[in-house]
Structure 1
Amino acid sequence: MKYCAFLRGVNVKGTNMKMADVCQVFKDAGMKEVISILASGNIVFSSDKNTTELKTILEKAMSQHFSYEAFLFVKSQKETEVFWNSIPFEKKDELHIYGFVGIPRVEKILMEEFQKAGQVENEKAAIVNDIFYWQVPKGNTLDSTFGKVLGKKSLKDQFTSRNVNTFEKILKKF
């Protein structure tokens, strides 16, 4: 079966790694047809194992190889297609749209945090098919109140986010 692993915190805040090295870790852990998409930690691969087993195996392998506490989220090709096909906002050049990949029900936690945060003009959030989507004007991603919430250490093992254009690139590689 084809999967994509979405790594959290790769090539940000001092956690730097080459995607070729990450792909080798995946191969050494028994994954097949391993390729990376962008430098943000998106690895497409094949395996006969289920997502729970893969998460455990790959987090352990990444943590040992790179000497950091790895967090990643594994989605099947079909699940990744849902991320792309469920985007609730119209794409506009002046806006970023992010989809969040994470543990079950993390979308509810994210919506609660979003509703507590102050929003800038054109900043929106929606849950579609149990996926949390966030729209924010370009240039405001890290400065928005909600953007700052996303960096909370208490949430680091619960989700990662990707610009929705990344999902399109991933799907082309499947």
Structure 2
Amino acid sequence: MHIPRPEEIRSRRETLGLRQTEIARRAGISQSMVARIEAGSVDPRVSTLNKIITVLNNAEPRKITAGQIMHTPVLSVPPQATISQAVEIFEKNNVSQLPVIERGAPVGCISESVIVKAIEQQRLHPAHAVMVKDLMEPGFPTVPPDMDVETVVNILQQNHAVLVTEGRIVRGVITKHDLITLIV
């Protein structure tokens, strides 16, 4: 029989998204006992350790949602912004694309690649201000805050970002970088 070390108990509890008070309540012991066991300052009885292990083994893993991993604020531009304004945001924030948002709702996206393509096709001239709405592409996919992270991962395999929306209003954004950060 494997007897878990204190750090293994804490790690498993945190992975499951449980608080010490919840473990204590379910195991019928005090929260301070759980804290002392996790700290390694007490050597628990086998029966107490078994109660904790049973609670951990029976606990459902916490579902990670889009709302938990999204970041805010969402960098964006309105459709009426000039391409120059979009480029300034690209440079200032080291990004290559932005959602286009009007009155809180996503309406498209603008990227460095579409701007470069417009330059190649000579559709951009310094003499006249080209607006974001003139070059914007279809927007990023959207998901609700309670969408599971596995679905978000699948969507990000074909897209650079996912917008998290409530109704039609953008609340956050998830990028591939956010998922890497989550894993690391």
Q: Structure 1 length normalisation: TM-score?
A: 0.22
Work out which of the two has the higher radius of gyration on C-alpha atoms and give 1 or 2.
Answer: 2
Structure with the bigger percentage of strand: 1
Structure with the bigger percentage of helix: 2
Higher RCO (CA-CA < 8 Å; seq separation 6+): 1
